[in-house]
Amino acid sequence: MRKIMMIAAFAGLLGGCSASAPENPFFTEWETPFGVPPFDLIQVDHFEPATLKGIETQRAEINTIADSPETPTFENTIETMDRSGTLLAQVRNVFGALNGALTNEELQGIAKRTAPLLSKHRDETLLNEKLFARVNAVHEQRENLGLDAEQMRLLTETHKRFVRGGANLDPSRKEQLKALNEELALLSVQFGENVLKETNQFELVIEEETDLAGLPSGVIAGAAEDAAARGHEGKWVFTLNKPSLIPFITYSERRELREKLFKGYIDRGDNGNELDNKEALTRMATIRLERARLLGYDSHAHFILADNMALEPQNVYELLGEIWKPALERAKEEAAEFQAMIDAENPGDKGFKLEAWDWWYYAEKVKKARFDLDEEMTRPYFEVNAVREGMFDVAEKLWGLKFIERPDIPVYHEDVKAFEVTEADGTHVAVLMVDYFPRPSKRGGAWMSSFRKEYKIGGDRIAPVVFNVGNFSKPTADKPALLSLDEVSTMFHEFGHGLHGMLSQCTYRSLSGTSVARDFVELPSQIMENWAVEPEVLAMYAKHYETGEPIPAELVTKIQNAQHFNQGFATTEYLAACFLDMDWHTLTDTENVRSNSFEKQSMERIGLIKEIESRYRSPYFRHIFAGGYSAGYYAYVWAEVLDADAFQAFKETGDLFDKKTALSFRTNILERGGAAEPMELYKEFRGKEPGIDALLARKGLK
């Protein structure tokens, strides 16, 4: 019965409105376990009217605050404003989740129509002169109000949000700001939609079995299933989704096919067709610069970083440069080693120069030769459900958390599993949903978000509903989903974000969970990656999917021995994208900027070798042009400094699950959300600011 209901929900979301036009579920109380969204009742045509109603309702709430004849207080202005917009948040959370993980043309159309409206609504709120006057009045009296630390944080962050949103601008500049924000919102939606469409449209169809040379049997089986699903029965299809792309460029012996698939990936948004993103992204860079200048900043990066731990662009460039130099030198050594193997395999005039589409292939061959290790040796020990349970076991050993699968909780797709999360004593903490396999309706990558954030009313905690999404290797007809080491790390990473959302203990919704500085939010996620491949943890969950035998000690040793291998590549391809992001957003003149030439100059300036492509090229760099990471992609490496140092706190105790250290991390980091300055929270946990040494040592760059 449950499967029928899930399929019906899936069909309803794809199919749009029904003849019976049932009552919009967003306008009624949800009688579901823990108040999760009733996905079996929600249809596409419910979202737009619910969004409009949500805007209307919050506008009325805001106007009531702004027009109040009462003297402004923290309670009647700041706190009441934080409580507003419940309906709109509910609708946008569900819509955002489905448009990212289960999209279709109807949802994409709604996104385009509502993006300018939502931008306008946000601007109307932040540019409301009467409302800002009340906020400002409370802010000026902040030292005399007897506020606790979280209340003070909410007040200062609210005031800052108004100022950064243009509240101090004159009327004409406010109108300019509104226009820029509306255009930017629409361009961002279109950019992301174009990337998804280009990703889905590309397929490498293989007709001859000889062209599968070198590929593992599981990869071949998956390609055959993809081919059948796409109408190519009896053939094999490889796509630009990572679980298809990465194994192919890692193992395929057909160099020309590796090149074709690799170029299909890096040319997304840059094909001169209707999905080309180059003009859109340069326009977005221009809009961001114009907006920053309206608000009194030299560049978009200056505007963004003023509200983050890095504070200013120079600090980011210095951090990137400190890691770039040793990483680039290591990458050059790696390239030389791979070229030596190519030359040895192809004597005389049969040789060729290493290219970007060769890197993964020769990295795997050298790793196999040096460490007797390749991905196919480890995959059988990383069955997706076993990894998930191992991840849950880590959380239980650290904090006593229990994860109970709940088939009665509605989900939005049959691949999704739902869990109730409790304390050791059974107290309800949260709901966690996990959605791990790729499909054409899901954008690439992995992420965490919430259907409902945590907050408190009258001291009562409203428990969060959190979800993790991935695009991991999926099961085939004869094998379960077997993950790569990288996919295992990604699962733990997103679970860390999930813990940040689930364990939140904040009073105010706008401060709870992951509502923190962009360059701090990756700390809880990245620290979890450390546990994933510790020998003690591998022994808990890494068991052969067929025999149940634990991963052999000698294989674990090989994994450890190879942990620094290819770190030059891994670090430089990521840092190159960080530099590219910063270069786009430190621009002070965009008049003659052209995407491809600008990108080329950016990479030449840092000396990226031609054998390595930046992790993201501009036309498909969703993080910065269709996500929240503009002038912020460096956040991962900033947080790596934090997480390497933070995990060292556990290592120093001699116990990866030291209860005192785990409790400190929970109470000072995971529970606090944005209730204090990030570095204050970190120092409360660690007792000091972090240094870069632990990160360089972990990467083998020191």
Compute CA distances 300 → 159, 161, 194, whole Å: 20, 16, 24
Q: What is the pLDDT of residues 250-259, one digit of tens each?
A: 999 999 999 9
Q: List the end-to-end C-alpha distance of the chain, in Å, as a whole number.
A: 57
The Cα 612–Cα 116 span in angstroms is 38
Backbone φ and ψ of 462, nearest 5°: -90, 110
Backbone φ and ψ of 679, nearest 5°: -65, -30
The CB-based long-range contact list for 173-178 (8 Å cut-off, 24+ gap) reads: 173/294, 174/123, 174/127, 176/290, 176/294, 177/123, 177/127, 177/291, 177/294, 177/295, 178/119, 178/120, 178/123, 178/127
Alpha carbon 490 to its chain's center? 10
Q: What is the pLDDT of residues 394-451, one digit of tens each?
A: 999 999 999 999 999 999 999 999 999 999 999 999 999 999 999 999 999 999 999 9
The Cα 359–Cα 145 span in angstroms is 61
Average pLDDT over residues 16-26: 67
What is the identity of the amino acid at 673?
G
Name the helix (H) or strand (E) containing 452: strand 447-452
Mean pLDDT of the chain: 95
Residue 700, phi-psi category: left (phi > 0), alpha (psi -120 to 50), beta (remainder): left
The Cα 437–Cα 416 span in angstroms is 9
Angle between helical axes of 86-101 and 105-126 (0-180°, round to 10): 140
What is the identity of the amino acid at 171?
P
Q: For residue 691, name the pLDDT band (cuts at 50, 70, 90).
A: confident
Compute CA distances 28 → 18, 83, 86, 87, whole Å: 19, 19, 13, 10
Q: What percent of the chain has pLDDT over 70?
A: 97
User: Beta strands 465-469 and 428-435: pairing type?
Assistant: parallel
Q: For residue 693, name the pLDDT band (cuts at 50, 70, 90).
A: confident
Q: For residue 21, name the pLDDT band (cuts at 50, 70, 90).
A: low
Q: Could you count the other beta carbons within 10 Å of the beta carbon of residue 589?
A: 8
Residue pointed to by tokens 């109000």: 145
What confidence score (pLDDT) does residue 104 get?
Answer: 96
Residue pointed to by tokens 């599968």: 212
The Cα 47–Cα 25 span in angstroms is 10
The Cα 233–Cα 659 span in angstroms is 55
SS3 166: coil
Helices (H), ranges, 351-483: 356-371, 375-378, 384-399
Residue pointed to by tokens 């400002």: 136
Domains and CATH numbers, the chain: 2-126+128-164 (1.10.1370.40), 202-266 (no CATH), 310-379+568-625 (no CATH), 380-507+517-561+635-699 (1.10.1370.40)
Structure tokens at 99: 């448009």
The Cα 254–Cα 210 span in angstroms is 9
The Cα 600–Cα 604 span in angstroms is 6
**What length is written for the chain?**
702
What is the identity of the amino acid at 13?
L
Is the pLDDT at 13 greater than 80, yes or no?
A: no
* Least-confidence region, from 16-20, 91-95, 441-445, 544-548: 16-20
What is the identity of the amino acid at 591?
E
Is the pLDDT at 16 greater than 60, yes or no?
A: no
The secondary structure of residue 549, as a DSSP letter, is P
DSSP string, 256-315: HHHHHHHHHHHTTT-SSSTT--HHHHHHHHHHHHHHHHHTT-SSHHHHHHTTSTT-SHHH
Average pLDDT over residues 639-655: 95
Q: For residue 348, name the pLDDT band (cuts at 50, 70, 90).
A: confident
Q: What is the pLDDT of residues 130-188, one digit of tens each?
A: 999 999 999 999 999 999 999 999 999 999 999 999 999 999 999 999 999 999 999 99
Q: Is 580:602 a contact under the CB 8 Å cutoff?
A: yes
**Cα atoms in the 13 Å half-sphere on the side-chain side of 540:** 18
Which residues make Cβ contacts (< 8 Å) with residue 104, sequence separation at least 6? 13, 14, 44, 441
The pTM assigned to this predicted structure is 0.93
DSSP string, 88-132: HHHHHHHHHHHHHHS--HHHHHHHHHHHHHHHHHHHHHHT-HHHH
What is the identity of the amino acid at 569?
F
Catalytic sites, residue numbers? 494
Helices (H), ranges, 67-85: 80-83
